[in-house]
Structure 1
């Protein structure tokens, strides 16, 4: 399974929703707290790009040479329609300062978030993350393509995804109600997670691990083909 540091790094560098909470910007609208871009530096610091007149930029500028405490809140929402679409959240707390001249654009200001503490709560569970491990971690290689791939699976391979129910086996204490819906929920280099619903209306998740981790889309196609073949043989 991906480590907590890898999962957090994937969320930080991915496309999920993010807001930066700082003192002095309490009255800002939600969208004013959302960075236009975010990247991770070589030492694990997080760079956040904002309009130069954003409330968080004004707060950081007003702090001058002092480090401004801040929390970056990330919310990961499934890109397909499933019950309970929030797949995970992460919180990165630390200190933010202005970083003029760092990949800056006209009318924009780059802020630097020095990481102090990290915490992730997602489909794998919840865990604190060591800042050094976060700095060394790599985001999941499939993350840039996950949204498109999941939407493609849900739309173009609905029957094959639904056919994965043949691999589920029996759920202890379930009374064995038939599974009626299977929707792709999450995808990473280690496997595919789906959200199922049975005829009793009970939703649950199932995960199918790949025989070996995949590093790119071509390897993923082969792994998915083998998975669909295994389901068809049951």
Structure 2
């Protein structure tokens, strides 16, 4: 399974919505606390680009010599229609400083020096040490995950449904229910099934024979999964 640090890093580098929580800005509308861009530097610092007139930028400007504490809260929502769409959240807390001249005109870059991090997602809840966050890498499929899940759901929904046949005694219960591809990473595919009789939902994880490194290897791994389910 991906480590907590890797999962956190993946969420930070994804397109998931992220809001900056800054003392004194509690009443600010969420859209004014969102960065236009996010990136992670080689030392694990998170770089955020915001409009120059953003309340966060103003707070960082007024703080200047003082440390401005902040929390970056990221919410991961499934890119396909499924019950309980929030897949997880990550929190990066630390200190914000301005980096003048590092962004386009009308924009300001801020650096969030990471002090603490945590993640609560489909794998569970974990804390992440700053050093582990800095060393971790985002999942190699993270940039394509949305498109891949939507493609699986729209084009290969029948095959995804057949994966329920790999679940042993639960297979019969799932034969007529729904199945939606929920999450994808280099280690495998997670599917959310709906039981036809009770209407209840549960997740099942289908691991690849070995971790994949790119979309080409993913296609091969998915073909193997579908072949196994067909037999």
- TM norm structure 2: 0.97
When structure 1 is superposed on structure 2, of 177-186 and 70-79 the one drifting more is 177-186
Match of 2:116 in 1: 117
1:213 Cα deviation from its structure 2 partner: 0.3
- On the 8 A contact 1:163/1:232 being kept in 2, the answer is yes
SS at match of 1:185: strand
- On the 8 A contact 1:196/1:206 being kept in 2, the answer is yes
RMSD across aligned positions (CA): 1.2
SS at match of 2:94: strand
Unaligned runs of 5+ in 2: none
Match of 2:164 in 1: 165
2:137 is aligned with 1:141: no
Match of 2:199 in 1: 201
Q: Distance in 2 between matches of 1:164 and 1:88?
A: 24
1:42 Cα deviation from its structure 2 partner: 1.0
SS at match of 1:140: coil
SS at match of 2:146: helix
1:26 Cα deviation from its structure 2 partner: 2.1
- On the 8 A contact 1:23/1:59 being kept in 2, the answer is no
1:177 Cα deviation from its structure 2 partner: 3.1
List per-residue Cα deviations over 1:111-131 (Å, max 9, x = no partner). Answer: 100100001000000000010
Match of 1:69 in 2: 69
- On the 8 A contact 2:99/2:108 being kept in 1, the answer is yes
1:66 Cα deviation from its structure 2 partner: 1.0
Q: Distance in 1 between matches of 2:215 and 2:174?
A: 32
1:178–1:139: structure 2 CA closer, same or farther, 3 Å change rule? closer
Unaligned runs of 5+ in 1: none
- TM norm structure 1: 0.95
Match of 1:177 in 2: 173
Q: Distance in 2 between matches of 1:3 and 1:187?
A: 14
Q: Distance in 2 between matches of 1:5 and 1:64?
A: 30
- On the 8 A contact 1:19/1:72 being kept in 2, the answer is yes
Q: Distance in 2 between matches of 1:65 and 1:3?
A: 36
1:156 Cα deviation from its structure 2 partner: 0.6
Give the count of matched residue pairs: 229
List per-residue Cα deviations over 1:157-199 (Å, max 9, x = no partner). Answer: 111111111111125xx9x634411110000000000000001
1:59 Cα deviation from its structure 2 partner: 0.5
1:98 Cα deviation from its structure 2 partner: 0.6
List per-residue Cα deviations over 1:92-124 (Å, max 9, x = no partner). Answer: 11110111123x111000010010000100000
1:74 Cα deviation from its structure 2 partner: 0.4
